[in-house]
Amino acid sequence: MKMLTAQAFQKAQAYLFEQGRELEQTLFAYHFAEGVREPVLATLAAYQNVDGGFGHALEPDLRTPASASVATQQGFNVFRAIDAPSTDVLVRRAVDYLLRTFDSVRNVWPIIPPEAEHAPHAPWWNYAESAQNFGGFLANPRAALVGHLHDYGDLVPADFLAQVTDAVVAQLEASSGKMEMHDLYCYVSLAETPNLPAGIKSKVQTKLLELVPQNVEMDPTRWAEYGLLPLGVVKAPDHFLASVIPQTVLAANLDFLIEQQQPDGAWAPTWNWAFVDEAAWQAAERDWKSHLTLANLLVLKAFERIE
């Protein structure tokens, strides 16, 4: 069993504070030091627009300053990580944004806005083809956003929340076999929602226990490729999905994760769109390295793999 050495941990920390985003720096301090949420919220505020949505490359492959539901989802991920209260102004503005931008005809949130085309972006963030490329937004980002609205149910009209939740659960229960990995991520996020009603949580988790083993890459020889790795869904040993991933596979994936740390102390993305815009990709890559380094340190901490 491999461990992230104290020296390797210090190198990762040094990378974050020398080259990482301020957001990950404050989150690192929250998780590994004083546990104070205010600096995180103060930093996150720079990514929020006056309409309440998040943009400004919070999702690093989408460089537009305009608000996008996929970037707003990332903002809510931060809220959940630090247990931000519903009284916080950033939270209230973000909830209002979701309520205003919901497409009641299609029963979804469009994943990106038209303004995405006016700023550098990865080729998969093409606005004109977004509905086709992202399954009509029925899972991504809808399932995750519904979960986040349950995080702040006191700010959301009950009838709306019930209606959109029923639609998401029905969509999931109709699924079988292989699923697009980002759709699966969104359903897992929904299942992890602390305030999701028990009956709904049971339905969602039961279905994911069925689907996840069919979709996670169990073959270590393919882990260096872009795909859904075991630790992509099982973030801690007590995670509800840990029971459907063999413990030997999880242990091997943890070893692999430790091995993937780069000489500069960071973890790097396995994708690249420098062929579209090299300068923009360099900025996105730096942001992703910051995000991935913190995320991987948290997984290693949860599994007690840090010396």
Question: pLDDT digits over 212-262, tens only?
Answer: 999 999 999 999 999 999 999 999 999 999 999 999 999 999 999 999 999
| 266 inside domain | yes
Find the domain containing 295 and state its range: 1-10+218-307
Is residue 162 within 8 Å of residue 199, measured between CB atoms? no
Torsion angle in degrees (nearest 10) through CA of 44, 50, 53, 58: -40
What tokens does 27 get?
């989150």
Q: How many domains does the chain have?
A: 1
| 244 inside domain | yes
Q: Band the pLDDT of 106: cuts 50, 70, 90.
A: very high
Cα distance between residue 29 and residue 24, in whole Å? 8
pLDDT at 273 exceeding the cut of 90: yes
| 4 inside domain | yes
Cα distance between residue 264 and residue 27, in whole Å? 20
| 15 inside domain | no
| 297 inside domain | yes
**What pLDDT, on a 0 to 100 scale, did the predictor assign at position 139?**
98
Cα distance between residue 150 and residue 300, in whole Å? 28
Beta carbons within 8 Å of 51's beta carbon, 6+ residues apart: 67, 97, 100
Report the percentage of the chain scoring pLDDT > 90. 99
Q: Band the pLDDT of 293: cuts 50, 70, 90.
A: very high
**What pLDDT, on a 0 to 100 scale, did the predictor assign at position 34?**
83
| 191 inside domain | no
Is the bond leading into 157 cis (omega within 30 degrees of zero)?
A: no
**What pLDDT, on a 0 to 100 scale, did the predictor assign at position 115?**
97
| 256 inside domain | yes
Q: Would the pTM count as exceeding 0.85?
A: yes
**What pLDDT, on a 0 to 100 scale, did the predictor assign at position 118?**
97
Beta carbons within 8 Å of 122's beta carbon, 6+ residues apart: 61, 62, 271, 273, 276, 284
| 84 inside domain | no
The whole-number average pLDDT for the span 181-207 is: 98
**What tens digit of pLDDT does each residue of 51-100 get?**
999 999 999 999 999 999 999 999 999 999 999 999 999 999 999 999 99
Q: How big is the chain by its Cα radius of gyration, in Å? A: 19
